[in-house]
Amino acid sequence: MASQKMLTELNNQIQEEIFSSYLYLSMAACFADKNLNGCAQWMTIQSQEEYAHAMKFYQYVLDIGGRVELQAIQKPDFEWPTPLSMFEGALAHEKHVTGRINLLVDIAVEEKDHATNNFLTFFVGEQVEEEANATQIVENFKMVGDNIQGLYMLDKELGARQV
């Protein structure tokens, strides 16, 4: 079984992942309100993915004989001025989550918790992918700028994302 320090941080990560899901769902609602349904679709799928990550942590804590302690979820932002600012927020959030995953890995290595270190390998790779995807989308929005046709095409492209 993992140490109490590790269990505390794993429980904190469950909260972080659920907040991520909640944040992306809020972004999806904001995009839908702006009639950017492709962006809303992308964020809805991202929200579902983050919730699945939370459940992986939840199940892992149970599998190692730990106690899951669910925590309060803070209210996410509700409004963003532009689609670009929303994806910049998503990128900043993914960088925050990467820092949290790195903290967990550091604790696992320090405590020689090989099982947790192995479990976290998936999330280390996942965060590389998450940051790369968000960075690409931010750069695409910057390239499009205020061009309405470009925004239309980018919205269509993001709407093609499947579960």
The pLDDT, as a whole number, for residue 54 is 98
Walk me through the domains of the chain, giving residue ranges and CATH numbers. Answer: 4-159 (1.20.1260.10)
Burial 104-130 (b: 16+ CB within 10 A, else e): bbebbeeeebeebbebbeebeebbeeb
The pLDDT, as a whole number, for residue 123 is 98
Predicted TM-score of the model (pTM): 0.95
Distance CA 40, CA 27 (A): 7
> Chunked in runs of 10, what are the mean pLDDT values of the chain (163 residues)?
96 98 98 98 98 98 98 96 97 98 98 98 98 98 96 97 89
The pLDDT, as a whole number, for residue 83 is 97
Residue spans of beta strands (DSSP E) within the chain? none
Distance CA 48, CA 30 (A): 16
List the end-to-end C-alpha distance of the chain, in Å, as a whole number. 33
The pLDDT, as a whole number, for residue 1 is 83
The pLDDT, as a whole number, for residue 163 is 83
